[in-house]
Amino acid sequence: MTLSERQNLIGLTRIEMQSFFASLGVREFHARQVLQWIYQRGINNFSQMTDLSKTFRDQLQQLAQVSVPETLTVRESSDGTRKWLLRLEDDNCIETVFIPEEDRGTLCVSAQVGCSLNCTFCATARQGFSRNLTTAEIIGQLLAVKNDLQAFGYGDRPITNVVMMGMGEPLLNYDAVVAALHLMLDDLSFGMSRRRVTLSTAGVVPAMERLALDCPVSLAVSLHATNNDLRDELVPLNRKYPIETLLQACHRYVAGENKRHITFEYVMLKGINDSKGEAQTLARLLSGLPAKVNLIPFNKSPGIEYECSDQSTIDTFREVLLSSGLMTVTRRTRGKDIEAACGQLAGRFADRTRRRWKFEQAIAPC
């Protein structure tokens, strides 16, 4: 059996790994051992998994593999942020970003090769769309970065938080993303709490409602406008799921969960969406929701004509929201000098021909 034909154990949930082992005639409890070897001990060589029988290790050597995306480059920002360019088996490349802080280390993970949503302020959108990532490619980002960070001296658990805010719309790759989320939360793999795993969406409403039932992690919603005309322009997905529909879904997402809140992301675009009146409208829109607002200074990318709001304008916008009782922070720009800041991820794509098809699927009537 060639390497490409072997089952990649990366990305298999506990249940899926149990099923695979059962198909080999092996008892299911071995899935617990292998998960811990891979995710908690960082071992990808079956011969080193010493609490497995030699016969089983030899069988795994023949039929399985532990494979993560190949690291092509690692760039470090002056502020300590690091960006990985990772090559996939089909030669497409994705980017993932690690943001170290005193009390945590946050990894920004990609869900797709490119993006189909065509948000007008985002560099990823300009690259087009190639395909969805597999669960193995999503989880492989965590493992590849974790291994590198440990080599850089960051300790045994350098990644404390994960944000699905990299390339692509996570909820348009629902099954693979949710399987990856379950692995992030599984005590036998990464063992993260739901509060430390955040999924960012432009507002794929039906998938938000599924997520609330299947894997209710922290949710961030890319809002960016307070009226439908402007949001149709900035976030074309709004044509299918307008602001009113999106906010109703947000209310349902937090229903019955007293400790759950939603983060609303709002990119600050000079003269476009940053007036005091728009801040007042935003406060009214979010009234009654357990919400937090992240104001994101726009990060310039080649070919995108918007400008970032002046700092005084951002400060005024923030004060309006704070005075209305909304928790509001201005996100500190990290990694801008290596094009690792919000909205700047691009990667390299072997195939960009499917953007229109995928976007039409996203906005098609149900």
Catalytic (active-site) positions? 95, 342
Q: At what angle do helices 243-254 and 205-214 cross, to 10 degrees?
A: 10
Separation between Cα atoms, residue 296 and residue 319, nearest integer Å: 15
CB 19 within 8 A of CB 4: no
Q: CA dist 247 to 43, 95, 208, 219, 323, Å?
A: 44, 30, 11, 13, 21
**Cβ neighbourhood burial of 156 (10 Å; 0-12, 13-18, 19+):** exposed
Token digits for 138? 């999503």
Q: CA dist 15 to 1, 38, 111, Å?
A: 25, 16, 22
Separation between Cα atoms, residue 204 and residue 221, nearest integer Å: 10
Exposed e or buried b per residue across 220-254, where buried means at least 16 C-beta atoms within 10 angstroms of its C-beta: bbbbbbbeeebbeebbbbbeebbbeebbebbeebb
* Residue found under tokens 């071995």: 30
Please compute, for residue 284, the number of CA atoms within 13 A of its CA located in the half-sphere on the CB side: 10
Q: CA torsion angle for 354, 356, 361, 365 (degrees, to 10)? A: -170
Please compute, for residue 51, the number of CA atoms within 13 A of its CA located in the half-sphere on the CB side: 11
Q: Which of 214, 129, 212 shows the shortest CA–CA distance to 180?
A: 214
Token digits for 118? 């065509």
